[in-house]
Amino acid sequence: MRTPTSDIRGLFVGVEQQVPLLDGTTHVYVNFDNAATTPPFRAVVDAVEQMFPYYAGVHRGTGFKSMLSTYLYEQARLKVAEFVGADPSKYVVIFTRNTTDSINKLCHHLPLKPDELVLTTVMEHHSNLLPWWIRGQVDYVLATTKYGAPEIEALKKKLEEHKGKVKLVALCGASNVTGYIPPIRQVARLAHQYGAMLLVDAAQLVAHRKITMQSPDEEEAIDFLAFSAHKMYAPFGTGVLVGPKEFFRQKPPDVVGGGTVELVTLNQVEWTEPPEKEEAGTPNLPGVVALSRSIEILSEIGFDYIQEHERHLTSYMLKRLAEIPEVIIHSDPNPQMSENRVGVIPINVKGIEHSLLAAILGFEWGIGVRHGCFCAHPYIMHLFNIHPDEVQPYLEQIRRGDHRGLPGFVRISFALYNTTEEIDYFISALKQIIRQGPRAKYVVQTRTGEYFPEGFDYDYSTYISSILSSHHSG
């Protein structure tokens, strides 16, 4: 296995960044919010910067820069296909803005007869729920285990119930709430047996496990794959949707405009071929270059290392959390259970509201976590055992503009640069917070439900002006 963690940390921008604390000191930021977004690889930033002197509009430009830019853009497409094991003669790689955009695009294109539907699960992020919900022809595989995993038997039951009518099974590759990885190959086989296609929302999987789509005619193939570059150390605004080439020929694009056509008259349009048909407007070359470079680095580090390191972090954190009786873990607390999960751990601390705990960790310890419901409200309600009928009072409270005291967790999420030392620091912070409470008086904002230390505010302008001045002088 390659690379001790210190080498790995050197690959990133900002992971040794000092941030201000409430007491006027600073501390190296501990980022346990990687499921939201990840810091960039240094080489990704360098690649984008190296590209800029040659940056120009891709496609249809005849100048050198434009041709080079087009070359980079199309090479990146091939790289993505190779990275996810998608044969470019069968699958098309479409660059989007992010996973959300990718799933909405698929939703637009999916042909559904009136009696057909999409099957998704209660475990999904809203980005893999709301597009189908809005479309209206949807059913949900409910959670059948304590930690909310919709089991294969439950999926089978639903496929049987809607026999021949399920056009697509839309499932996350890993949950952004519990880190749970469903048995994708098994789901693929089952979906295909029932004549359905499979979408894997790989937003939480792509930076943590090797994904292989396989050939579309194989039983265990993934038909559609969606992911975001910003969750894989390339935060420059690119997402990906991969799917069978033929599929995207059937319908006009979801977004129309420049680049999507062969010919337009005032009463006719001839759409061009995918992927161009699906990438309306000027493409995001910096984003695509960033993604391409991040793929190279991830491949160089290797998923064996990544998986093993993140498994170790998750298992170590679970062991250390078990030392604290006040901690409630809402995913499987077994440190040995590591094969089918990524490094995401949702917790509560008895007696401390999740939003207050997250604020104390940030203001007093320089630890970044996320709290709340993580764009997965149905899943959180399931994990909290909140019946749909019990949601009404929360809804009424929110409609009054009051977000205080709503249910939620604090989420710890790892990336490949995190260390056990950071976990030790987090655990000592947690123990001290539980023992001694906050070091300041915190007040809650009604509108957001967020806590802030009374009379304290960061002076953001000093950070912004230093960035601006370094740009001016640099």
Smallest gap from Cβ 230 to ligand PLP, in A, equals: 6
Q: How far is the CB of 232 from ligand PLP (least distance, A)?
A: 10
Answer positive or negative: Cα dihedral of 306, 309, 311, 317: negative
Do residues 451 and 361 lie in contact, with contact meaning Cβ atoms separated by under 8 Å? no
If binding is defined by CB under 6 A, does position 284 make contact with ligand PLP? no
Q: According to the binding rule CB under 6 A, does residue 355 interact with ligand PLP?
A: no
260 makes contact with ligand PLP (CB under 6 A): no
d(CA 92, CA 88): 6
The helices-and-strands tally (H runs, E runs) of the chain is: 14, 19
Shortest spacing between CB 456 and ligand PLP, in angstroms: 29
Q: Does 294 bind ligand PLP (CB under 6 A)?
A: no
Q: Would you state the structure tokens that stand for residue 102, as one six-digit string?
A: 């990718």
Beta carbons of 65 and 75 less than 8 angstroms apart:
no
Q: Which stretch binds ligand PLP (CB under 6 A): 92-100, 182-190, 320-328, 422-430?
A: 92-100
Q: Are strands 239-244 and 224-228 parallel, antiparallel or unpaired?
A: antiparallel
State which of residues 128, 260, 314, 418 lies at the interface with ligand PLP (CB under 6 A).
128
Among 31, 34, 38, 99, binds ligand PLP (CB under 6 A): 99
Does 31 bind ligand PLP (CB under 6 A)? Our answer is no
H or E element that contains 6: helix 5-9
Catalytic residue among 107, 172, 373, 375: 375
User: Is-cis flag, bond preceding 131, omega within 30?
Assistant: no
Structure-block tokens of residue 167 = 């056009």
Binding residue for ligand PLP (CB under 6 A) from 104, 214, 228, 314? 228
| Beta carbon of residue 37, minimum distance to ligand PLP (angstroms, whole number) | 8
User: Could you tell me how many residues of this chain bind ligand PLP (CB under 6 A)?
Assistant: 12
Six-digit token pair at 425? 């620091």
Q: Is 98 in the site for ligand PLP (CB under 6 A)?
A: yes
Dihedral over Cα of 254, 258, 264, 266: its sign: positive
Output the CA angle 138-232-21, nearest 5 degrees: 110
Residue 279 or 364: the one with the smaller Cβ distance to ligand PLP is 279
Q: Does 418 bind ligand PLP (CB under 6 A)?
A: no
| DSSP bridge pairs for 329 | 347
- Of 5-13, 78-86, 97-105, 145-153, the segment contacting ligand PLP by CB under 6 A is 97-105
| Among residues 77, 125, 158, 277, the one that binds ligand PLP under rule CB under 6 A | 125
By the rule CB under 6 A, 331 interacts with ligand PLP: no
CA dist 332 and 145 (Å) reads 10
Terminal C-alpha separation, the chain: 39
> What is d(CA 104, CA 142) in angstroms, rounded to the nearest whole number?
22
Pick between residue 176 and residue 338 the one whose CB is nearest to ligand PLP: 176
CA separation for the pair 188, 71 (Å, rounded): 34
Q: Smallest gap, in angstroms, from Cβ of residue 109 to ligand PLP? A: 17
Please, which residue, 204 or 338, has the CB nearer to ligand PLP? 204
As measured in angstroms, the least distance from the Cβ of 241 to ligand PLP is 11
Helix axes 42-51, 285-301, angle to 10 degrees: 140
Measured distance CA(186)–CA(15) in Å, rounded = 38
70 vs 175, beta carbon nearer ligand PLP: 175
Does 277 participate in binding ligand PLP (rule CB under 6 A)? no
Q: How far apart (Å, rounded) are the C-alpha atoms in residues 410 and 327?
A: 11
- Asked if 348 interacts with ligand PLP (CB under 6 A), we say no
Range 175-204, binding ligand PLP (CB under 6 A): 176, 201, 203-204
Distance between CA atoms of residues 419 and 433, nearest Å: 21
Residue 375 bears catalytic tag: yes
Q: Is 100 in the site for ligand PLP (CB under 6 A)?
A: yes
Q: Which residues are catalytic?
A: 375
Q: Which residues contact ligand PLP (rule: CB under 6 A)? A: 98-100, 125, 127-128, 172, 176, 201, 203-204, 228
